[in-house]
Amino acid sequence: MRYLLGLIFVLTLAAGGVFLVAGRMSGPSIEIAKPEKFVGVSTPLEIAVAAPLLAGLRVVLQQNGKETPLFSLSDPKGANVRQDGADRLRVSQEIGRKTVPDLQSGPARLVVTASRKVVYGIRTVESTATRDVQVRLERPRVSVISTFHFINHGGSEMVVYRVSPADVQSGVLVGDVEYPGYPASGATVEGVRISDPAVRVAFFALLHDQDRNTPIRAFARDEAGNTGRADLDFRVFPKPFKRSRIQLEDRFLDRVVRAILEGTTDVRPEGDALAKFLVINGELRRKNAEKIASFAKQTAPEMLWRGIVFHPFTNTAVESAFADHRTYVYKGKEVDQQTHLGFDLASFAGTPIVSANRGKVLFADELGIYGNCVIVDHGMGVQSLYAHLSSIDVQPGQMVDKTQQLGRSGMTGLAGGDHLHFTFLVNGRMVNPVEWWDAHWIEDRILRKLRTTS
Ligand SMILES: [Zn+2]
């Protein structure tokens, strides 16, 4: 009998000990992925909870002494709940006026509480995570100041607009392609200067492969994700793009394939010269375009260029215009199609190649199909590119003046003979350079708008 009582005593003590230890076991791990800092008119909430035997999960928003339930495991409402592996749950939903009807601008706190069962379900352990956020419910405003926007298909345009508050991100949306705006105080062509801090300038393009009816609008977006939009009056002019056929000769294939593959690790094609050429002309062309586009984010926020027009390379013969649609033919068979997004200008071999305008060299190196290539930044997302050079005379980071020599023409990269491949970039997208050589175009699309705003 005494033994039995003793045994019961020991067992009770052990159970109590387990119960206490279990209480100190950790609760589920909680990760609040979104929002990071701001909640706007409609902001995604994303939470991940990891624990075996998750028993409960509750998300609330606390603001001005009130608590609004956003989610609970027993009543998920409109939330998207996903199992991510055996012991991980992801919850996503929107926070906004719909889920929190009396949401107000100002500080708020997200509180996430999760619990799990331990010791065969005898006890529950809980953990809590919080995130302090700022609620912003006022949409930023954007209004277009400039008038008469005329866009050549494949070409560029500029818009002047006003945003408020002045510290929001803004620009132009052409379909789903975004072009950032820059403070208009950085626009100083012809001494024209706009000092109003709310005024912005954005260069944008209607790309050769975008539909002519693509919507074009100015936008402003704050840190909470609130977006304001404004229409701009514009007209699109169609530009017929040429079609051409390029005959591929074995001698050409052997030369360019070997030279390009020696200088790149971006592609490693197998097979004969034609098979390798097709990888270079497709996959490497695409990778090179991505690399070129990546320099957009290094652009200066102000205009670096001087004078009215860009240097037009008038002493050269145009061999190929912008956005030529090229069909490649090998031994009588069509083997590939690509669009040529630049101008090919031929003069004599080893012609000095000069910068089209003042700017900063961002790239001066070998680049796949472009061979020896130089990219010059003229500011506000406007850049120029010079390819197939035989030699390069400049270095990245260097400022160059208008008509300063960048190098000499050549036939490096994917070039059939000595020529300059020249193109213009607007926020990393290849656009028709011809417009930038035209004083009338610069006057109407850029100077007129800056003058009437200032
Ligand atoms: Zn070319």
Average pLDDT, the chain: 90
Pull the structure tokens for residue 339: 């669009």
pTM: 0.82
d(C-alpha 342, C-alpha 324), whole Å: 9
Q: How confident is the model at residue 341 (pLDDT cuts 50, 70, 90)?
A: very high
Q: How confident is the model at residue 18 (pLDDT cuts 50, 70, 90)?
A: low
d(C-alpha 117, C-alpha 256), whole Å: 67
pLDDT at position 182 is 96
Give me the residues near ligand 1 (ion), CB cutoff below 5 Å: 342, 344, 421
DSSP 3-state of 202? strand
Percent of the chain with pLDDT over 90: 69
Ligand 1 mean position, distance from CA 343 (Å): 6
Q: How confident is the model at residue 292 (pLDDT cuts 50, 70, 90)?
A: very high
Q: Which residue has the higher pLDDT, 185 or 20?
A: 185
The yes-or-no verdict on residue 320 having pLDDT over 90 is no
Ligand 1 mean position, distance from CA 182 (Å): 31
d(C-alpha 6, C-alpha 162), whole Å: 84
Q: What is the pLDDT of residues 124-162, one digit of tens each?
A: 899 999 999 999 999 999 999 999 999 999 999 999 999
Pull the structure tokens for residue 291: 């690399």
Ligand 1 mean position, distance from CA 320 (Å): 7
Q: What is the pLDDT of residues 29-48, one digit of tens each?
A: 999 999 999 999 889 999 99
Residue 210 φ then ψ, to 5°? -95, 150
Pull the structure tokens for residue 421: 């491949």
pLDDT at position 167 is 83
pLDDT at position 14 is 63
Average pLDDT over residues 273-289: 96
d(C-alpha 48, C-alpha 59), whole Å: 12
d(C-alpha 429, C-alpha 111), whole Å: 44
The yes-or-no verdict on residue 20 having pLDDT over 60 is no
Yes or no: say if 205 and 121 are a contact pair by the CB < 8 Å rule.
no
The yes-or-no verdict on residue 23 having pLDDT over 60 is no
Ligand 1 mean position, distance from CA 404 (Å): 22
Q: Which residue has the higher pLDDT, 160 or 311?
A: 160
Output 330-333 pairs: Cβ under 8 A, ≥24 positions apart: 330/247, 330/248, 330/274
Ligand 1 mean position, distance from CA 393 (Å): 21
Average pLDDT over residues 382-396: 97
Domains of the chain plus CATH, in order, are 24-135 (2.60.40.10), 141-239+446-453 (2.60.40.10), 243-431 (2.70.70.10)
pLDDT at position 1 is 60
Q: How confident is the model at residue 235 (pLDDT cuts 50, 70, 90)?
A: very high
Q: How confident is the model at residue 113 (pLDDT cuts 50, 70, 90)?
A: very high
Q: How confident is the model at residue 315 (pLDDT cuts 50, 70, 90)?
A: low
Ligand 1 mean position, distance from CA 211 (Å): 24
d(C-alpha 158, C-alpha 156), whole Å: 7
Ligand 1 mean position, distance from CA 298 (Å): 24
Q: What is the pLDDT of residues 404-448, one digit of tens each?
A: 999 999 999 999 999 999 999 999 999 999 899 898 999 999 988
- Beta strand spans in 51-83 (E): 54-63, 66-72, 80-83
Ligand 1 mean position, distance from CA 94 (Å): 48
Ligand 1 mean position, distance from CA 449 (Å): 33
The yes-or-no verdict on residue 368 having pLDDT over 90 is yes
d(C-alpha 112, C-alpha 110), whole Å: 7
What is the residue type of 341?
A: L
Q: Which residue has the higher pLDDT, 13 or 323?
A: 323
Weakest mean pLDDT among 19-33, 212-226, 387-401, 427-441 = 19-33
Ligand 1 mean position, distance from CA 294 (Å): 20
Average pLDDT over residues 217-232: 93
Pull the structure tokens for residue 47: 């939470």
pLDDT at position 24 is 63
